[in-house]
Amino acid sequence: MTGLFKTRLRLDTDFTSSKVYKHLLTPWFLAGTLAISPYCAGEEVITFSDLKLNGSATTVSIPNTIILRLTEAKPNQTGSAFSQIKVDIGDFSTFFTFRITESKYLGAEGFVFVLQSDKSTALGEESNGLGYGGIPSSVGIEFDTWDNTAWRNDYDQNHVGINLHGRFQGPRASITPSFKNGSLWYVWIEYNGHELAVRLSQTSDRPSQPQLSYSLNLQDVLGGTEAFVGFTAATGGAYAKHEIISWNALPPAVTVTLEEYEALKQKYAVCQKKGE
């Protein structure tokens, strides 16, 4: 059979489970790298350092990997990291792990996963703006660790929220325990073309139901079906270290023939057999 089809074949969000079904064509950030799959030895690998880093954002080497650090545990830090090209966001599933370490300084303010059509150097408002406030044509999923009720649409100091156009006016959901407990958190964000869903856990088991979901048309918000994707974070007078430990990034659309698809399936099977 011949002909072309266009799809986003991606790694399933729970790639830490041995039971997971893995799709074939997947760019993903895993332990600090973006690998073009099928993931075999010799494939091209791009590190977190290939993101556009802005403000306080930096990459840090730790044993066996590289992580993305958006802020140090210092006052008045603002950082962002974005893909340097726009990717297809017509529908997607993405997974990342994060860690917030507050030390003894109360642990403000939080971070945001962002899709935006402005530029790769985008860096929003400091402090309670979480590095996201004011970024136009954007969607931001915030992980907020400070109650800024007087300035933002907050009602507690530990919640997830969905925001549009750099404004903190969207739905919220309280989360327990605290994000800033220094533990590893797992996040699944999925968009099916009409609803954005956010799931969180302190284990690699994906929750059956989202903690927060919101109906929207990303194309209307972003002005198209492509966007820069990444993260922002900020601290204020209180502060914490905000780190992205791994990221299963948004895969771009890939066009292949059915013959190429079958060849990739065979190559992927070889990779699995070799344990690569």
Mean pLDDT of the chain: 76
Whether residue 276 contacts residue 41, with contact meaning beta carbons closer than 8 Å, is answered with yes
Q: What is the dihedral of CA 261, 263, 266, 272, to 10 degrees?
A: -70
Averaged pLDDT for residues 240-266: 69
Does pTM surpass 0.85? Answer: no
The pLDDT > 90 percentage for the chain reads 43
Asked if the model's pLDDT at residue 254 lies above 50, the reply is no
Q: How confident is the model at residue 89 (pLDDT cuts 50, 70, 90)?
A: confident
pLDDT for res 142: 94
Q: Report the topology of domain 52-243.
A: Jelly Rolls (2.60.120)
Asked if the model's pLDDT at residue 117 lies above 70, the reply is yes
For residue 136, give the nearest of 24, 228, 26, 35 by alpha carbon.
228
Sign, CA torsion 156/159/165/169? negative
User: Where are the strands (E) in the chain, listed by range?
Assistant: 4-7, 27-30, 33-36, 45-47, 52-55, 58-62, 65-71, 78-82, 87-88, 92-101, 110-116, 138-144, 159-164, 172-174, 185-191, 195-201, 212-215, 226-234, 241-248, 254-257
C-alpha 272/C-alpha 119 separation (Å) is 38
For residue 216, give the nearest of 274, 267, 141 by alpha carbon.
141
pLDDT for res 148: 64
Averaged pLDDT for residues 174-189: 89
Averaged pLDDT for residues 121-139: 92
pLDDT for res 36: 34
